[in-house]
Amino acid sequence: MVITFITIFAIGIAAGVVGAILGLGGGIIIVPALTLGFGMPMRTAVAASTVCIIATSTGAAVAFLRDRLTNTRVAIWLEMGTSMGALTGALVAALVNQRVLFVLFGLLLAYSAYNMFRTRKEHARPEVIPDAISAKLRLGGSYYDKALGRRVEYQVTRTLPGLVIMYFSGAAAGLLGIGAGIFKVPAMDQVMGMPFKASSATSNFMIGVTAASGAVVYFARGDVKPLVAGPVVLGVLLGAILGARLMMRMPASKIRLFFMPILAYTAIEMIYKGVKWW
């Protein structure tokens, strides 16, 4: 039993590191590891993974907030979209065809993977001119990039389309039981013109709130098994703290390179899940 605990703990650390660097919840590692590796039921794995999303978000946010990598104003603006979306998703989950959704969201991810590949060189990106809302709400920001050794100033644009995309990413989280960080990072990076590191840190900050309302449902149903969730969540917390420190010293281009295959893989996986039974 001790060996199992240690293995689950180690998986948690790995998921926390990856999740913190990429602005995702780490569910992409935890769910397959617990179901395929330990033969646990899907519900137990997804419930543990949801609590892990909160752990990644909370653990990594401390370092990101201190280094001003997180844009709290953008986060709160966009959280309106994600939280309303998650609410809608949870309410209509029983009414809609999940397979169609998987395909739709998979195609959307494939499109953002393609876009991210196209604009993979940071300097190839056009200059960002803030829109009226961004200027009024002072959404632009700056952070000190430890990898570049200089301060990065940036502006935010397309604030309303960003909010709408966040609504759908929140709905995806509610409907499909996933952490929607994989939608949030491209929405900020590709659509709103934020630097990749600020997008990742801000996504990381937001996923905790999206996951919290979902986690309550799993707790109420008794799907959160303390003996499974305990070690994995403790591992994720430590991994996220470590991952946040690593991320701040990594060049953004490396992180993007790391993000793209995960995005492409998730897109294929979602489309596959959607068409599997047709």
Partner 1 sequence: MVGIDPEEKAAEHPIELVLARLLRLGSLVAAALLAVGIALMVLGQSAVAPRLITAGLLVLLGTPVLRVLVAAVIFVKERDWHFALFSLVVLCAVAAGIYFGKGM
User: What does the binding site for partner 1 look like in residue numbers (CB under 8 A)?
Assistant: 1-2, 5, 51, 54-55, 57-59, 61-62, 65-66, 68, 70, 72-73, 76-77, 79-80, 83-84, 86-87, 90-91, 137, 144, 146-147, 149, 151, 174, 208-209, 211-217, 219-220, 224, 226-227, 229-231, 233-234, 237-238, 241, 249
* Pick from 180, 202, 211: nearest CA to 76: 202
Instruction: Give the shortest CB-33-to-partner 1 separation in angstroms.
Output: 18
Instruction: Give the shortest CB-67-to-partner 1 separation in angstroms.
Output: 8
Instruction: Give the shortest CB-104-to-partner 1 separation in angstroms.
Output: 22
Residue 141: beta bridge partners?
A: 154
CB 137 within 8 A of CB 120: no
Which CB, 28 or 224, lies closer to partner 1?
224
Which CB, 36 or 160, lies closer to partner 1?
160
Q: Residue 123 carries which DSSP code?
A: G
**What is the chain's length?**
278
C-alpha distances (whole Å) from 168 to each of 50, 81, 263 are: 18, 8, 17
What span, in angstroms and rounded, lies between the C-alpha atoms of 23 and 200? Answer: 4
Which CB, 72 or 111, lies closer to partner 1?
72
Which CB, 106 or 162, lies closer to partner 1?
162
- The two structure tokens encoding residue 113: 């993977």
Q: Report the Cα 260 to chain-centroid distance in Å.
A: 13
What span, in angstroms and rounded, lies between the C-alpha atoms of 236 and 224? Answer: 16
Instruction: Give the shortest CB-87-to-partner 1 separation in angstroms.
Output: 5
Which CB, 113 or 171, lies closer to partner 1?
171
Instruction: Give the shortest CB-278-to-partner 1 separation in angstroms.
Output: 27
CB 11 within 8 A of CB 30: yes
